[in-house]
Amino acid sequence: MAKGIVIAGTHSGCGKTTVTLALMAALRRKGLVVQPFKVGPDFIDPGHHALAAGRQSHNLDGWMCGRRAVQDVFARHAWDADIAVAEGVMGLYDGFSPITEQGSTAEVAKWLKLPVLLVVDARSMARSAAALVKGFAEFDPFLNLAGVAFNRAGSENHAKLLAEAMTLAPNVPLAGVLRRREGLATPSRHLGLVTACEAPLSPATLEKLADWIEQGLDLNRLVANLPHLAIYPPDDPDLPEPRAVIGVAWDKAFCFYYDENLRLLRESGARLIYFSPMEDQALPQGLHGLYLGGGYPEVHARALAQNRSMRRDIRDFCRSGRPVLAECGGFMYLMDALVGEHGQNFPMAGVFPFTASMNDRFAALGYREATLARDCPLGPAGLKVRGHEFHYSSIPDEAYAGAGLYIVSDRHGSLARPEGFTEGNVVASYIHLHFGSNPSLAPRFVDACASAVPASQ
């Protein structure tokens, strides 16, 4: 029977991703079957998890999907593992709202009855670190805070000071102290870490991570103290006979997809065929629809622009009346042009008559609740969906005069703005939808694709 643990942080940047990857690598090296998860909407961390754990990582997002869906995803993938390791998001108590636990790591940990290992960046702290831990422990007495791992200790003496200070917080076990070590952090850029498909963690790096965490934490004791979980495999339906073939863009430029979205499409009767807008010269034959997910098209803009035949194929497909769902990076690809990382202008597919330009700061970040403003391949007007928006690119303000796919509500439920664009049966937006937010999304998109005449190119 599986065990499980959540790796949470006091804040973003405390080192919880590095600790999570190190723990996964070390437990796998010990011969355990490790099932990784990521709390929240992030696409990048799960790719690195898969390399460290040797199994596909899955998102657990309480705000987008709700309690039942989170529990189902966890059970579906953790039941046959020895241990499930879930990396948290932001700080332990941070989420959708500053005054509730909605969308937080703490909420998911309690839903799944998982103990939490709190990662604390202990640089330049000693006694204050114990005060910080005590505050986190007492903030929510219903949370099982199973231990604390101090990260980035500067010396052996610093580690001893931290251990001594923890006598002031006797109700929280000290799992260990991790020394500061150069070169262990995973590479990052504007949207977070570099993706696993661009810069995969090497076996040597994973070995170093495993060595590092074993030197600082007693993993045998940590695992031994974890409770067994009462989880069982869900009764997943048999996959139906495919009734629509959907092309999914997948390469270094487009790799941001929720695995649950792809599963729900398959369960709704879709056969998914993957292709590369960067490297393939043409779309696969016989497609009823396209799914163009997010990623880093701005990083690979030159290669995308140089593939003229694929740009033409996708433009023609969009004009054929067949359904297309394009999210964030996929939306950028369908524009006239993209101004890349270094200010160069690159032609894209030309479905929407505007240009995406990169900014030095976030253009948008956060959860989104959206209501369909018109009938489209995703469903009828009035359908409510949830997703996440996170990008540095922007389009001209005047372009939004043509927006009208969604009416987007902000965190307070107020009507904020129109968002998203349609062109025939193309639906495109900066929002990454989670199909788990509305059970009709995947079936309706597959229905729309199945009604289309397959492409014959």
Q: What are 298-351's pLDDT values in tens digits?
A: 999 999 999 999 999 999 999 999 999 999 999 999 999 999 778 899 999 999
Per-residue pLDDT, 191: 57
The domain that holds 392 is classified in CATH as: 3.40.50.880
Of 14, 65, 318, 328, the catalytic one is 328
Q: Is 239 inside a domain boundary? A: no
Q: What is the CA radius of gyration of the chain?
A: 23
Q: What is the DSSP letter of 187?
A: P
Tell whether 210 and 99 lie within a shared domain: yes
Tell whether 208 and 328 lie within a shared domain: no
Per-residue pLDDT, 117: 99
Tell whether 255 and 111 lie within a shared domain: no
User: What pLDDT, in 10s, does the model give residues 12-57?
Assistant: 999 999 999 999 999 999 999 999 999 999 999 999 999 999 999 9
Q: Is the pLDDT of residue 220 over 50?
A: yes
Where among 224, 256, 275 does a domain terminate? 224
Q: 369: which strand partners?
A: 386, 409
Residue of 149, 148, 153, 150 whose CA lies nearest to 124: 153
Where among 193, 224, 255 does a domain terminate? 224
Tell whether 153 and 195 lie within a shared domain: yes
Where among 191, 224, 257 does a domain terminate? 224
pLDDT band at 365 (very low <50, low <70, confident <90, very high): confident
Tell whether 355 and 208 lie within a shared domain: no
pLDDT band at 457 (very low <50, low <70, confident <90, very high): very low
What is the maximum span of the chain, computed from C-alpha positions, in angstroms?
71
User: What pLDDT, in 10s, does the model give residues 246-292?
Assistant: 999 999 999 999 999 999 999 999 999 999 999 999 999 999 999 99
- Strands, E assignment, 383-445: 384-391, 393-394, 406-409, 415-419, 421-423, 426-429, 432-433
Per-residue pLDDT, 1: 83
Q: At what angle do helices 44-53 and 16-29 cross, to 10 degrees?
A: 20
Q: Is the pLDDT of residue 127 over 80?
A: yes
Residue of 282, 260, 262 whose CA lies nearest to 272: 262
Mean pLDDT for the chain?
A: 93
Tell whether 24 and 148 lie within a shared domain: yes
Active site residue 328: yes
* Domain membership of residue 352 as a residue range: 244-450
User: What pLDDT, in 10s, does the model give residues 389-398?
Assistant: 998 899 988 8
Tell whether 262 and 173 lie within a shared domain: no
Tell whether 251 and 185 lie within a shared domain: no
Residue of 138, 15, 144, 182 whose CA lies nearest to 87: 15
Q: Is 230 inside a domain boundary? A: no
Q: What is the DSSP letter of 189?
A: E
Per-residue pLDDT, 160: 97
Q: Is 229 inside a domain boundary? A: no
Q: Is 191 inside a domain boundary? A: yes
Structure tokens that stand for 125 in this block: 């702290």
The domain that holds 129 is classified in CATH as: 3.40.50.300
Per-residue pLDDT, 414: 65
| Number of compact structural domains in the chain | 2
Give the count of beta carbons closer than 10 Å to the beta carbon of residue 345. 13
Q: Is 232 inside a domain boundary? A: no
User: What pLDDT, in 10s, does the model give residues 155-184?
Assistant: 999 999 999 999 999 999 999 999 998 777
Are the CB atoms for 169 and 118 separated by under 8 Å? no
Q: Is the pLDDT of residue 401 over 80?
A: yes
Residue of 420, 426, 297, 441 whose CA lies nearest to 364: 420
Residue of 373, 396, 397 whose CA lies nearest to 383: 373
How far, in Å, CA of 281 to CA of 79, rounded?
41
Mean pLDDT, rounded, for 347-358: 96
Per-residue pLDDT, 33: 98
Q: Is 168 inside a domain boundary? A: yes
Per-residue pLDDT, 193: 62
Backbone CA torsion sign across 142, 136, 144, 104: positive
**Cα→Cα distances 121→38, 154, 176, 180, Å:** 20, 11, 13, 10
Backbone CA torsion sign across 384, 363, 13, 130: negative
Q: Is 237 inside a domain boundary? A: no
Tell whether 195 and 285 lie within a shared domain: no
Tell whether 28 and 86 lie within a shared domain: yes
How far, in Å, CA of 153 to CA of 248, rounded?
45
Q: Give the global pTM.
A: 0.94
Tell whether 219 and 250 lie within a shared domain: no
Angle made by CA atoms 56, 58, 61, in degrees to the nearest 5: 175
Q: Is 386 inside a domain boundary? A: yes
- Long-range contacts made by residues 411-416, C-beta under 8 angstroms, separation at least 24? 411/96, 411/97, 411/366, 411/367, 413/369
Backbone angles phi, psi at 448, to 5 degrees: -65, -40
Q: Pick left, alpha or beta for residue 270 (phi over 0 → left; psi -120 to 50 → alpha; otherwise beta).
A: beta
Angle made by CA atoms 140, 146, 150, in degrees to the nearest 5: 100
Q: Is the pLDDT of residue 233 over 50?
A: yes
Tell whether 86 and 148 lie within a shared domain: yes
